[in-house]
Structure 1
Protein backbone atom coordinates (compact mmCIF):
# COMPACT_ATOMS: atom_id res chain seq x y z
CA UNK A 1 0.00 0.00 0.00
CA UNK A 2 1.53 3.29 -1.10
CA UNK A 3 1.72 6.21 1.32
CA UNK A 4 -0.84 8.87 0.50
CA UNK A 5 0.05 12.51 0.06
CA UNK A 6 -1.61 13.20 3.41
CA UNK A 7 0.52 10.59 5.19
CA UNK A 8 3.68 11.95 3.58
CA UNK A 9 2.68 15.47 4.58
CA UNK A 10 2.03 14.37 8.18
CA UNK A 11 5.50 12.81 8.35
CA UNK A 12 7.06 16.04 7.10
CA UNK A 13 5.23 17.87 9.90
CA UNK A 14 6.72 15.48 12.46
CA UNK A 15 10.16 16.01 10.90
CA UNK A 16 9.80 19.76 11.34
CA UNK A 17 8.90 19.22 15.01
CA UNK A 18 11.87 16.92 15.60
CA UNK A 19 14.41 19.19 13.91
CA UNK A 20 13.23 22.29 15.76
CA UNK A 21 13.48 20.48 19.10
CA UNK A 22 17.02 19.26 18.39
CA UNK A 23 18.22 22.67 17.16
CA UNK A 24 16.82 24.40 20.25
CA UNK A 25 18.63 21.95 22.51
CA UNK A 26 21.93 22.49 20.75
CA UNK A 27 21.53 26.27 20.61
CA UNK A 28 20.75 26.50 24.32
CA UNK A 29 19.26 29.98 24.18
CA UNK A 30 16.75 30.86 21.49
CA UNK A 31 13.39 29.27 20.67
CA UNK A 32 11.54 28.98 17.41
CA UNK A 33 8.59 31.23 16.73
CA UNK A 34 5.88 29.78 14.51
CA UNK A 35 4.03 31.62 11.80
CA UNK A 36 1.15 29.53 10.47
CA UNK A 37 -0.14 30.68 7.10
CA UNK A 38 -2.71 29.84 4.46
CA UNK A 39 -2.29 30.01 0.70
CA UNK A 40 -5.26 31.65 -0.97
CA UNK A 41 -5.08 29.32 -3.96
CA UNK A 42 -4.95 26.22 -1.71
CA UNK A 43 -3.03 24.82 1.25
CA UNK A 44 -0.67 26.47 3.68
CA UNK A 45 2.16 25.83 6.05
CA UNK A 46 4.06 26.49 9.26
CA UNK A 47 7.15 28.67 9.04
CA UNK A 48 9.31 28.56 12.16
CA UNK A 49 12.13 31.05 12.63
CA UNK A 50 14.83 31.18 15.30
CA UNK A 51 16.93 34.33 15.86
CA UNK A 52 19.71 35.70 18.06
CA UNK A 53 20.49 32.39 19.70
CA UNK A 54 23.56 31.06 21.42
CA UNK A 55 24.86 29.61 18.13
CA UNK A 56 22.22 30.40 15.52
CA UNK A 57 21.97 34.02 14.42
CA UNK A 58 19.02 33.30 12.14
CA UNK A 59 17.43 30.09 10.96
CA UNK A 60 14.23 28.83 9.49
CA UNK A 61 12.53 25.44 9.41
CA UNK A 62 9.51 25.59 7.15
CA UNK A 63 6.78 23.04 6.43
CA UNK A 64 4.31 23.50 3.61
CA UNK A 65 1.58 21.58 1.85
CA UNK A 66 0.09 23.51 -1.05
CA UNK A 67 -2.23 22.47 -3.87
CA UNK A 68 -4.32 23.76 -6.71
CA UNK A 69 -4.11 24.46 -10.40
CA UNK A 70 -0.57 24.05 -11.70
CA UNK A 71 0.69 27.37 -13.08
CA UNK A 72 1.31 27.38 -16.82
CA UNK A 73 4.92 28.42 -16.27
CA UNK A 74 5.55 25.27 -14.21
CA UNK A 75 3.83 23.02 -16.75
CA UNK A 76 5.98 24.41 -19.53
CA UNK A 77 9.21 24.21 -17.55
CA UNK A 78 8.61 20.57 -16.55
CA UNK A 79 6.95 19.59 -19.85
CA UNK A 80 3.86 18.30 -18.04
CA UNK A 81 0.24 18.04 -19.18
CA UNK A 82 -2.31 20.28 -17.52
CA UNK A 83 -3.39 18.92 -14.11
CA UNK A 84 -3.76 20.03 -10.51
CA UNK A 85 -0.78 19.69 -8.18
CA UNK A 86 -0.01 18.91 -4.55
CA UNK A 87 3.41 19.77 -3.12
CA UNK A 88 4.59 19.22 0.43
CA UNK A 89 7.91 19.27 2.20
CA UNK A 90 10.30 20.74 4.70
CA UNK A 91 12.91 23.39 3.88
CA UNK A 92 15.69 24.57 6.19
CA UNK A 93 18.46 27.15 6.15
CA UNK A 94 20.57 27.99 9.23
CA UNK A 95 22.93 30.97 9.45
CA UNK A 96 25.21 30.77 12.52
CA UNK A 97 26.66 33.67 14.48
CA UNK A 98 30.16 32.17 14.64
CA UNK A 99 31.92 32.12 11.24
CA UNK A 100 33.54 28.84 12.19
CA UNK A 101 30.15 27.13 12.11
CA UNK A 102 28.93 26.45 8.56
CA UNK A 103 25.71 27.50 6.91
CA UNK A 104 23.51 24.51 6.15
CA UNK A 105 20.54 23.94 3.88
CA UNK A 106 18.18 21.02 3.53
CA UNK A 107 15.02 20.42 1.57
CA UNK A 108 12.95 17.26 1.31
CA UNK A 109 9.77 17.32 -0.71
CA UNK A 110 7.04 15.37 -2.46
CA UNK A 111 5.07 16.43 -5.54
CA UNK A 112 2.12 14.79 -7.20
CA UNK A 113 -0.46 15.68 -9.80
CA UNK A 114 -4.08 14.74 -10.31
CA UNK A 115 -3.10 12.74 -13.43
CA UNK A 116 -1.06 10.27 -11.37
CA UNK A 117 2.40 11.82 -11.85
CA UNK A 118 4.46 11.90 -8.63
CA UNK A 119 8.04 12.25 -7.44
CA UNK A 120 10.30 12.94 -4.49
CA UNK A 121 13.11 15.48 -4.41
CA UNK A 122 15.47 17.14 -1.99
CA UNK A 123 19.01 17.65 -0.92
CA UNK A 124 21.31 18.77 1.82
CA UNK A 125 24.44 20.86 1.40
CA UNK A 126 26.99 22.58 3.60
CA UNK A 127 28.45 26.05 3.10
CA UNK A 128 31.39 26.67 5.45
CA UNK A 129 32.72 30.20 5.55
CA UNK A 130 36.17 28.66 5.76
CA UNK A 131 36.57 25.08 4.60
CA UNK A 132 37.75 22.62 7.26
CA UNK A 133 38.65 19.38 5.50
CA UNK A 134 37.95 17.24 8.57
CA UNK A 135 34.47 18.75 8.89
CA UNK A 136 33.90 18.24 5.17
CA UNK A 137 34.85 14.59 5.47
CA UNK A 138 32.53 14.06 8.44
CA UNK A 139 29.65 15.61 6.53
CA UNK A 140 30.16 13.65 3.33
CA UNK A 141 30.75 10.37 5.18
CA UNK A 142 27.42 10.84 6.98
CA UNK A 143 25.68 11.45 3.65
CA UNK A 144 27.31 8.43 2.06
CA UNK A 145 26.24 6.19 4.92
CA UNK A 146 22.61 7.25 4.50
CA UNK A 147 22.77 6.85 0.73
CA UNK A 148 24.44 3.44 0.92
CA UNK A 149 21.67 2.08 3.14
CA UNK A 150 19.26 2.58 0.25
CA UNK A 151 21.32 2.27 -2.93
CA UNK A 152 25.06 1.96 -3.44
CA UNK A 153 24.88 4.25 -6.48
CA UNK A 154 23.12 7.13 -4.73
CA UNK A 155 26.02 8.95 -3.10
CA UNK A 156 28.21 9.38 -6.18
CA UNK A 157 25.24 10.18 -8.37
CA UNK A 158 23.62 12.67 -6.02
CA UNK A 159 26.92 14.25 -4.97
CA UNK A 160 27.69 15.06 -8.60
CA UNK A 161 24.16 16.42 -8.98
CA UNK A 162 24.73 18.67 -5.96
CA UNK A 163 28.06 19.89 -7.36
CA UNK A 164 26.26 20.92 -10.54
CA UNK A 165 23.21 22.37 -8.80
CA UNK A 166 24.83 24.37 -5.99
CA UNK A 167 27.06 26.27 -8.38
CA UNK A 168 27.34 29.98 -9.17
CA UNK A 169 28.20 30.13 -12.89
CA UNK A 170 28.80 33.88 -12.76
CA UNK A 171 31.42 33.35 -10.03
CA UNK A 172 32.69 30.02 -11.35
CA UNK A 173 32.57 28.58 -7.85
CA UNK A 174 30.43 26.17 -5.88
CA UNK A 175 28.28 27.55 -3.08
CA UNK A 176 30.17 25.48 -0.54
CA UNK A 177 31.38 21.90 -0.22
CA UNK A 178 28.22 20.48 -1.73
CA UNK A 179 26.38 17.48 -0.40
CA UNK A 180 23.66 15.58 -2.22
CA UNK A 181 20.82 16.73 -4.46
CA UNK A 182 18.11 14.67 -6.14
CA UNK A 183 14.86 15.35 -7.94
CA UNK A 184 12.07 13.60 -9.83
CA UNK A 185 12.67 10.28 -8.05
CA UNK A 186 9.74 8.04 -9.02
CA UNK A 187 8.94 4.54 -10.25
CA UNK A 188 11.38 5.02 -13.13
CA UNK A 189 14.15 4.49 -10.54
CA UNK A 190 13.08 0.85 -10.40
CA UNK A 191 12.08 1.28 -6.77
CA UNK A 192 8.76 1.39 -4.99
CA UNK A 193 7.27 4.59 -3.72
CA UNK A 194 7.80 3.32 -0.17
CA UNK A 195 11.50 2.69 -0.81
CA UNK A 196 12.01 6.19 -2.17
CA UNK A 197 10.07 7.70 0.72
CA UNK A 198 12.27 5.77 3.15
CA UNK A 199 15.36 7.30 1.54
CA UNK A 200 13.90 10.79 1.84
CA UNK A 201 13.09 10.09 5.48
CA UNK A 202 16.68 9.01 6.08
CA UNK A 203 18.00 12.25 4.61
CA UNK A 204 15.58 14.28 6.70
CA UNK A 205 16.52 12.56 9.94
CA UNK A 206 20.22 13.02 9.21
CA UNK A 207 19.96 16.80 9.31
CA UNK A 208 19.77 17.35 13.09
CA UNK A 209 22.50 14.77 13.68
CA UNK A 210 25.08 16.47 11.46
CA UNK A 211 24.22 20.08 12.21
CA UNK A 212 24.05 19.81 15.98
CA UNK A 213 27.47 18.14 15.70
CA UNK A 214 28.87 21.29 14.08
CA UNK A 215 27.03 23.54 16.52
CA UNK A 216 28.53 21.78 19.53
CA UNK A 217 31.98 21.32 18.01
CA UNK A 218 32.53 24.80 16.58
CA UNK A 219 29.95 27.08 18.18
CA UNK A 220 32.20 28.31 20.99
CA UNK A 221 35.46 28.53 19.04
CA UNK A 222 37.17 31.95 19.00
CA UNK A 223 37.16 34.02 15.81
CA UNK A 224 38.69 37.27 14.62
CA UNK A 225 37.14 40.42 13.13
CA UNK A 226 38.71 39.40 9.80
CA UNK A 227 36.91 36.06 9.94
CA UNK A 228 33.66 37.87 10.67
CA UNK A 229 34.20 40.16 7.67
CA UNK A 230 34.84 37.11 5.49
CA UNK A 231 31.64 35.51 6.78
CA UNK A 232 29.66 38.54 5.55
CA UNK A 233 31.19 38.20 2.08
CA UNK A 234 30.40 34.49 1.92
CA UNK A 235 26.84 35.23 2.97
CA UNK A 236 26.68 37.59 0.02
CA UNK A 237 27.50 34.68 -2.26
CA UNK A 238 24.73 32.70 -0.58
CA UNK A 239 22.23 35.44 -1.37
CA UNK A 240 23.42 35.55 -4.98
CA UNK A 241 22.77 31.85 -5.44
CA UNK A 242 19.35 31.84 -3.80
CA UNK A 243 18.02 34.84 -5.71
CA UNK A 244 19.63 34.21 -9.10
CA UNK A 245 19.94 30.45 -9.55
CA UNK A 246 17.89 28.48 -7.01
CA UNK A 247 15.02 26.63 -8.69
CA UNK A 248 13.20 26.16 -5.37
CA UNK A 249 12.98 29.92 -4.88
CA UNK A 250 11.66 30.32 -8.41
CA UNK A 251 9.14 27.49 -7.97
CA UNK A 252 7.81 29.03 -4.77
CA UNK A 253 7.36 32.42 -6.35
CA UNK A 254 5.88 30.97 -9.56
CA UNK A 255 3.28 29.00 -7.58
CA UNK A 256 2.21 32.11 -5.68
CA UNK A 257 3.90 30.86 -2.52
CA UNK A 258 4.30 32.91 0.62
CA UNK A 259 7.11 35.38 0.02
CA UNK A 260 8.24 35.61 3.66
CA UNK A 261 8.56 31.84 3.90
CA UNK A 262 10.35 31.54 0.55
CA UNK A 263 12.88 34.21 1.48
CA UNK A 264 13.49 33.02 5.04
CA UNK A 265 16.74 31.53 3.66
CA UNK A 266 18.29 34.99 3.45
CA UNK A 267 20.94 35.79 6.09
CA UNK A 268 20.22 38.61 8.57
CA UNK A 269 23.22 40.57 7.26
CA UNK A 270 25.60 40.16 4.33
CA UNK A 271 28.18 42.20 2.49
CA UNK A 272 29.66 42.75 -0.95
CA UNK A 273 33.10 44.27 -1.53
CA UNK A 274 34.12 45.42 -4.98
CA UNK A 275 36.66 43.11 -6.58
CA UNK A 276 37.64 41.57 -3.25
CA UNK A 277 40.64 39.24 -3.31
CA UNK A 278 41.94 37.43 -0.20
CA UNK A 279 45.61 37.49 0.72
CA UNK A 280 47.79 34.85 -0.94
CA UNK A 281 48.21 31.69 1.18
CA UNK A 282 45.50 32.82 3.61
CA UNK A 283 42.75 30.54 4.93
CA UNK A 284 40.30 32.54 2.84
CA UNK A 285 42.34 31.96 -0.32
CA UNK A 286 42.48 28.24 0.45
CA UNK A 287 38.71 28.17 0.85
CA UNK A 288 38.23 29.78 -2.56
CA UNK A 289 40.55 27.20 -4.09
CA UNK A 290 38.30 24.43 -2.73
CA UNK A 291 35.03 25.83 -4.06
CA UNK A 292 34.97 23.70 -7.16
CA UNK A 293 33.18 20.65 -8.48
CA UNK A 294 34.39 17.10 -8.27
CA UNK A 295 36.36 17.15 -5.01
CA UNK A 296 36.48 13.81 -3.21
CA UNK A 297 35.95 14.93 0.40
CA UNK A 298 35.98 11.42 1.84
CA UNK A 299 39.54 10.39 0.94
Structure 2
Protein backbone atom coordinates (compact mmCIF):
# COMPACT_ATOMS: atom_id res chain seq x y z
CA UNK A 1 0.00 0.00 0.00
CA UNK A 2 1.24 3.49 -0.78
CA UNK A 3 2.44 5.45 2.23
CA UNK A 4 1.84 9.05 3.21
CA UNK A 5 5.59 9.66 2.87
CA UNK A 6 5.54 8.53 -0.77
CA UNK A 7 2.48 10.66 -1.51
CA UNK A 8 4.09 13.73 0.02
CA UNK A 9 7.35 13.16 -1.88
CA UNK A 10 5.58 12.82 -5.23
CA UNK A 11 3.50 15.92 -4.56
CA UNK A 12 6.70 17.87 -3.87
CA UNK A 13 8.08 16.74 -7.22
CA UNK A 14 4.90 17.93 -8.96
CA UNK A 15 5.29 21.29 -7.22
CA UNK A 16 8.83 21.54 -8.62
CA UNK A 17 7.69 20.69 -12.14
CA UNK A 18 4.87 23.22 -12.15
CA UNK A 19 7.07 26.03 -10.83
CA UNK A 20 9.64 25.41 -13.55
CA UNK A 21 6.96 25.48 -16.24
CA UNK A 22 5.38 28.70 -14.96
CA UNK A 23 8.73 30.48 -14.77
CA UNK A 24 9.42 29.44 -18.35
CA UNK A 25 6.13 30.77 -19.73
CA UNK A 26 6.38 34.04 -17.79
CA UNK A 27 9.95 34.65 -18.90
CA UNK A 28 10.81 37.13 -16.15
CA UNK A 29 9.62 36.39 -12.63
CA UNK A 30 11.04 33.66 -10.41
CA UNK A 31 9.40 31.90 -7.51
CA UNK A 32 10.41 32.89 -4.01
CA UNK A 33 10.34 30.02 -1.53
CA UNK A 34 9.61 30.08 2.15
CA UNK A 35 9.86 26.97 4.29
CA UNK A 36 7.57 26.92 7.29
CA UNK A 37 6.66 24.72 10.24
CA UNK A 38 3.21 24.32 11.69
CA UNK A 39 2.56 24.43 15.40
CA UNK A 40 1.26 20.96 16.17
CA UNK A 41 3.07 19.12 13.39
CA UNK A 42 4.34 19.30 9.85
CA UNK A 43 5.00 22.22 7.57
CA UNK A 44 5.38 23.12 3.95
CA UNK A 45 7.00 24.99 1.08
CA UNK A 46 5.27 28.20 0.06
CA UNK A 47 6.33 29.44 -3.37
CA UNK A 48 5.12 32.78 -4.68
CA UNK A 49 5.66 34.44 -8.05
CA UNK A 50 5.04 38.18 -8.41
CA UNK A 51 5.35 41.11 -10.81
CA UNK A 52 6.23 39.02 -13.85
CA UNK A 53 5.63 39.59 -17.52
CA UNK A 54 2.32 37.73 -17.23
CA UNK A 55 1.82 36.70 -13.62
CA UNK A 56 0.99 39.56 -11.28
CA UNK A 57 0.68 37.21 -8.32
CA UNK A 58 0.57 33.47 -7.93
CA UNK A 59 1.36 30.68 -5.57
CA UNK A 60 2.29 27.02 -5.90
CA UNK A 61 2.22 25.66 -2.37
CA UNK A 62 3.05 22.28 -0.88
CA UNK A 63 2.13 21.24 2.63
CA UNK A 64 2.30 18.11 4.74
CA UNK A 65 0.75 18.71 8.14
CA UNK A 66 -0.58 16.63 10.98
CA UNK A 67 -1.32 16.46 14.64
CA UNK A 68 -4.43 16.81 16.72
CA UNK A 69 -7.63 17.38 14.79
CA UNK A 70 -9.63 20.40 16.03
CA UNK A 71 -13.10 19.77 17.40
CA UNK A 72 -14.75 21.86 14.68
CA UNK A 73 -13.20 19.68 11.98
CA UNK A 74 -14.10 16.44 13.75
CA UNK A 75 -17.72 17.54 13.95
CA UNK A 76 -17.73 18.65 10.34
CA UNK A 77 -16.32 15.31 9.17
CA UNK A 78 -18.46 13.32 11.65
CA UNK A 79 -15.48 11.41 13.05
CA UNK A 80 -14.01 10.87 16.51
CA UNK A 81 -10.33 10.43 15.63
CA UNK A 82 -7.89 12.66 17.49
CA UNK A 83 -5.13 12.95 14.90
CA UNK A 84 -4.76 13.59 11.19
CA UNK A 85 -2.30 13.88 8.32
CA UNK A 86 -2.91 15.97 5.23
CA UNK A 87 -0.67 16.72 2.28
CA UNK A 88 -1.22 18.40 -1.03
CA UNK A 89 -0.31 20.96 -3.65
CA UNK A 90 -2.44 24.07 -4.07
CA UNK A 91 -2.15 26.59 -6.90
CA UNK A 92 -3.76 29.92 -7.74
CA UNK A 93 -2.43 32.19 -10.49
CA UNK A 94 -3.61 35.76 -11.07
CA UNK A 95 -2.32 37.15 -14.39
CA UNK A 96 -1.87 40.87 -15.03
CA UNK A 97 -3.56 40.48 -18.44
CA UNK A 98 -7.39 40.52 -18.56
CA UNK A 99 -7.46 38.13 -21.52
CA UNK A 100 -5.38 35.49 -19.67
CA UNK A 101 -7.56 33.52 -17.22
CA UNK A 102 -7.15 32.95 -13.52
CA UNK A 103 -6.56 29.29 -12.74
CA UNK A 104 -6.75 27.17 -9.60
CA UNK A 105 -5.74 23.61 -8.90
CA UNK A 106 -5.49 21.46 -5.80
CA UNK A 107 -4.51 17.83 -5.29
CA UNK A 108 -4.58 16.47 -1.78
CA UNK A 109 -4.52 13.42 0.46
CA UNK A 110 -5.99 13.07 3.96
CA UNK A 111 -5.79 10.31 6.55
CA UNK A 112 -6.35 9.67 10.23
CA UNK A 113 -3.56 7.35 11.41
CA UNK A 114 -5.37 6.41 14.63
CA UNK A 115 -7.99 4.57 12.57
CA UNK A 116 -5.40 2.19 11.09
CA UNK A 117 -5.12 -1.18 12.72
CA UNK A 118 -6.24 -4.78 12.61
CA UNK A 119 -9.96 -5.08 12.07
CA UNK A 120 -10.37 -1.35 11.49
CA UNK A 121 -11.42 0.38 8.31
CA UNK A 122 -8.86 3.15 7.72
CA UNK A 123 -10.13 6.68 7.20
CA UNK A 124 -8.23 8.08 4.23
CA UNK A 125 -9.08 9.70 0.93
CA UNK A 126 -7.88 11.73 -2.02
CA UNK A 127 -9.43 14.94 -3.23
CA UNK A 128 -8.71 17.66 -5.71
CA UNK A 129 -9.88 19.82 -8.51
CA UNK A 130 -8.97 22.32 -11.17
CA UNK A 131 -11.09 25.18 -12.46
CA UNK A 132 -10.66 28.07 -14.86
CA UNK A 133 -11.84 31.61 -14.17
CA UNK A 134 -11.53 33.72 -17.30
CA UNK A 135 -12.23 37.43 -17.00
CA UNK A 136 -13.71 37.09 -20.49
CA UNK A 137 -15.11 33.72 -21.51
CA UNK A 138 -13.54 32.54 -24.78
CA UNK A 139 -15.41 29.51 -26.08
CA UNK A 140 -12.36 27.92 -27.73
CA UNK A 141 -10.39 28.18 -24.48
CA UNK A 142 -13.19 26.67 -22.40
CA UNK A 143 -13.54 23.80 -24.88
CA UNK A 144 -9.79 23.14 -24.87
CA UNK A 145 -9.67 23.23 -21.06
CA UNK A 146 -12.56 20.82 -20.57
CA UNK A 147 -11.49 18.49 -23.37
CA UNK A 148 -8.06 18.23 -21.78
CA UNK A 149 -9.57 17.35 -18.41
CA UNK A 150 -11.89 14.84 -20.06
CA UNK A 151 -8.87 13.11 -21.59
CA UNK A 152 -7.12 12.89 -18.21
CA UNK A 153 -10.21 11.45 -16.53
CA UNK A 154 -10.86 8.92 -19.28
CA UNK A 155 -7.46 7.34 -18.68
CA UNK A 156 -8.78 6.11 -15.33
CA UNK A 157 -12.57 5.98 -15.39
CA UNK A 158 -15.02 6.85 -18.16
CA UNK A 159 -17.47 8.27 -15.61
CA UNK A 160 -15.03 10.59 -13.85
CA UNK A 161 -15.29 13.63 -16.10
CA UNK A 162 -19.07 13.86 -16.18
CA UNK A 163 -19.37 13.24 -12.45
CA UNK A 164 -16.56 15.55 -11.41
CA UNK A 165 -17.58 18.29 -13.87
CA UNK A 166 -21.04 18.44 -12.31
CA UNK A 167 -19.45 18.46 -8.86
CA UNK A 168 -17.28 21.41 -9.89
CA UNK A 169 -20.27 23.33 -11.25
CA UNK A 170 -21.99 22.93 -7.89
CA UNK A 171 -18.89 23.60 -5.78
CA UNK A 172 -17.46 26.63 -7.59
CA UNK A 173 -20.74 28.53 -7.37
CA UNK A 174 -21.14 31.95 -5.80
CA UNK A 175 -24.57 31.56 -4.27
CA UNK A 176 -25.11 35.18 -3.31
CA UNK A 177 -24.30 36.24 -6.90
CA UNK A 178 -26.14 33.36 -8.56
CA UNK A 179 -23.19 32.73 -10.85
CA UNK A 180 -20.37 30.25 -11.20
CA UNK A 181 -16.85 31.41 -10.39
CA UNK A 182 -15.81 30.75 -13.98
CA UNK A 183 -16.24 28.03 -16.60
CA UNK A 184 -15.73 25.27 -14.06
CA UNK A 185 -13.53 22.23 -14.44
CA UNK A 186 -13.54 19.14 -12.26
CA UNK A 187 -13.78 18.67 -8.50
CA UNK A 188 -13.79 15.55 -6.33
CA UNK A 189 -13.44 14.72 -2.66
CA UNK A 190 -13.21 11.66 -0.39
CA UNK A 191 -12.20 9.43 -3.30
CA UNK A 192 -11.36 6.03 -1.80
CA UNK A 193 -10.33 2.60 -3.02
CA UNK A 194 -13.11 0.26 -4.13
CA UNK A 195 -13.69 -2.73 -6.38
CA UNK A 196 -12.99 -0.61 -9.47
CA UNK A 197 -9.91 1.35 -8.35
CA UNK A 198 -7.06 0.61 -5.97
CA UNK A 199 -5.32 3.19 -3.80
CA UNK A 200 -2.41 3.11 -6.24
CA UNK A 201 -4.70 3.88 -9.19
CA UNK A 202 -6.37 6.77 -7.36
CA UNK A 203 -2.95 8.16 -6.52
CA UNK A 204 -1.92 7.88 -10.16
CA UNK A 205 -5.05 9.81 -11.13
CA UNK A 206 -4.19 12.50 -8.61
CA UNK A 207 -0.69 12.83 -10.04
CA UNK A 208 -1.94 12.80 -13.64
CA UNK A 209 -4.23 15.71 -12.86
CA UNK A 210 -1.37 17.56 -11.21
CA UNK A 211 0.88 17.04 -14.20
CA UNK A 212 -1.83 18.16 -16.62
CA UNK A 213 -1.78 21.65 -15.11
CA UNK A 214 1.38 22.98 -16.73
CA UNK A 215 0.71 22.06 -20.37
CA UNK A 216 -2.94 23.16 -20.17
CA UNK A 217 -2.22 26.55 -18.62
CA UNK A 218 0.86 27.20 -20.73
CA UNK A 219 -1.27 26.77 -23.86
CA UNK A 220 -3.93 29.18 -22.55
CA UNK A 221 -1.36 31.80 -21.55
CA UNK A 222 0.43 31.65 -24.90
CA UNK A 223 -2.85 32.13 -26.75
CA UNK A 224 -3.43 35.56 -25.24
CA UNK A 225 -0.32 37.00 -23.58
CA UNK A 226 0.65 39.16 -26.58
CA UNK A 227 -2.82 40.55 -27.24
CA UNK A 228 -3.46 44.22 -26.49
CA UNK A 229 -6.11 45.26 -23.99
CA UNK A 230 -7.84 48.44 -22.89
CA UNK A 231 -8.17 50.23 -19.56
CA UNK A 232 -11.86 49.30 -19.50
CA UNK A 233 -10.96 45.63 -19.91
CA UNK A 234 -8.59 45.90 -16.96
CA UNK A 235 -11.31 47.47 -14.82
CA UNK A 236 -13.51 44.51 -15.69
CA UNK A 237 -10.66 42.21 -14.68
CA UNK A 238 -10.56 43.86 -11.25
CA UNK A 239 -14.32 43.40 -10.90
CA UNK A 240 -14.09 39.70 -11.75
CA UNK A 241 -11.27 39.35 -9.24
CA UNK A 242 -13.61 40.66 -6.55
CA UNK A 243 -15.97 37.76 -7.23
CA UNK A 244 -13.03 35.37 -6.92
CA UNK A 245 -12.18 36.84 -3.52
CA UNK A 246 -15.80 36.57 -2.37
CA UNK A 247 -15.94 32.86 -3.19
CA UNK A 248 -12.65 32.05 -1.47
CA UNK A 249 -13.50 33.91 1.70
CA UNK A 250 -17.12 32.77 2.00
CA UNK A 251 -17.35 29.27 0.53
CA UNK A 252 -13.97 27.65 -0.12
CA UNK A 253 -13.55 24.51 2.02
CA UNK A 254 -9.75 24.54 1.76
CA UNK A 255 -9.57 28.06 3.15
CA UNK A 256 -11.83 27.12 6.05
CA UNK A 257 -9.87 23.93 6.78
CA UNK A 258 -6.56 25.80 6.78
CA UNK A 259 -7.79 28.50 9.12
CA UNK A 260 -9.44 26.02 11.52
CA UNK A 261 -6.36 23.77 11.71
CA UNK A 262 -4.00 26.62 12.58
CA UNK A 263 -2.47 26.70 9.11
CA UNK A 264 -0.09 29.34 7.87
CA UNK A 265 -2.17 32.44 7.10
CA UNK A 266 0.06 33.78 4.30
CA UNK A 267 -0.10 30.45 2.48
CA UNK A 268 -3.85 30.06 2.96
CA UNK A 269 -4.70 33.54 1.73
CA UNK A 270 -2.26 33.58 -1.17
CA UNK A 271 -5.28 32.70 -3.33
CA UNK A 272 -6.58 36.25 -3.02
CA UNK A 273 -5.85 38.63 -5.91
CA UNK A 274 -3.38 41.50 -5.46
CA UNK A 275 -5.92 44.09 -6.63
CA UNK A 276 -9.70 43.83 -6.83
CA UNK A 277 -12.52 46.35 -7.09
CA UNK A 278 -16.15 46.44 -6.07
CA UNK A 279 -18.24 48.79 -8.20
CA UNK A 280 -21.63 49.70 -6.79
CA UNK A 281 -24.50 48.21 -8.83
CA UNK A 282 -22.35 47.58 -11.90
CA UNK A 283 -24.33 46.96 -15.08
CA UNK A 284 -22.51 45.70 -18.20
CA UNK A 285 -23.01 47.39 -21.54
CA UNK A 286 -25.83 45.62 -23.42
CA UNK A 287 -24.42 43.42 -26.16
CA UNK A 288 -20.85 43.73 -24.92
CA UNK A 289 -18.33 41.02 -24.08
CA UNK A 290 -18.83 41.62 -20.37
CA UNK A 291 -22.56 40.90 -20.65
CA UNK A 292 -21.80 37.82 -22.74
CA UNK A 293 -19.35 36.54 -20.11
CA UNK A 294 -21.95 36.92 -17.36
CA UNK A 295 -24.44 34.96 -19.46
CA UNK A 296 -21.99 32.03 -19.53
CA UNK A 297 -21.33 31.88 -15.79
CA UNK A 298 -23.96 29.17 -15.36
CA UNK A 299 -24.03 25.56 -14.28
CA UNK A 300 -24.47 22.75 -16.74
CA UNK A 301 -22.82 24.18 -19.86
CA UNK A 302 -21.36 21.39 -21.98
CA UNK A 303 -17.92 22.51 -23.18
CA UNK A 304 -16.81 19.15 -24.61
Give the TM-score of the pair, scaled to structure 1. 0.98
Q: 1:211 aligns with which of 214, 217, 225?
A: 217
Q: Deviations over 1:193-247 (max 9, x none)?
A: 0010011011000000111111211111111111000000000000000000101
Q: 1:145 aligns with which of 151, 165, 186?
A: 151
Structure 1 segments of 4+ aligned residues over 6 angstroms from their partners: none
Equivalents in 2 of 1:220, 1:28: separation in Å?
13
Equivalents in 1 of 2:195, 2:212: separation in Å?
22
Equivalents in 2 of 1:63, 1:172: separation in Å?
32
- Count the aligned residue pairs: 297
> RMSD across aligned C-alpha pairs, in angstroms?
0.8
Q: Deviations over 1:54-94 (max 9, x none)?
A: 11110000000000011111110011122310000000000
Distance 1:189 1:280, change over 3 A: farther
What is the Cα deviation at residue 189 of structure 1? Answer: 6.8
Q: How does 1:138-287 map to 2 (within 5 A)?
A: 138-188=144-194, 190-287=196-293
Give the TM-score of the pair, scaled to structure 2. 0.97
What is the Cα deviation at residue 188 of structure 1? Answer: 4.2
Answering whether residue 3 of structure 2 is matched by residue 4 of structure 1, we say yes
Answering whether residue 123 of structure 2 is matched by residue 117 of structure 1, we say yes
Answering whether residue 24 of structure 2 is matched by residue 18 of structure 1, we say no
Equivalents in 2 of 1:194, 1:259: separation in Å?
32
Answering whether residue 109 of structure 2 is matched by residue 103 of structure 1, we say no
Question: Structure 1: 5+ residue runs without aligned partners?
Answer: none
Answering whether residue 130 of structure 2 is matched by residue 131 of structure 1, we say no
Give the match for residue 38 of structure 2. 39
Give the match for residue 69 of structure 1. 68
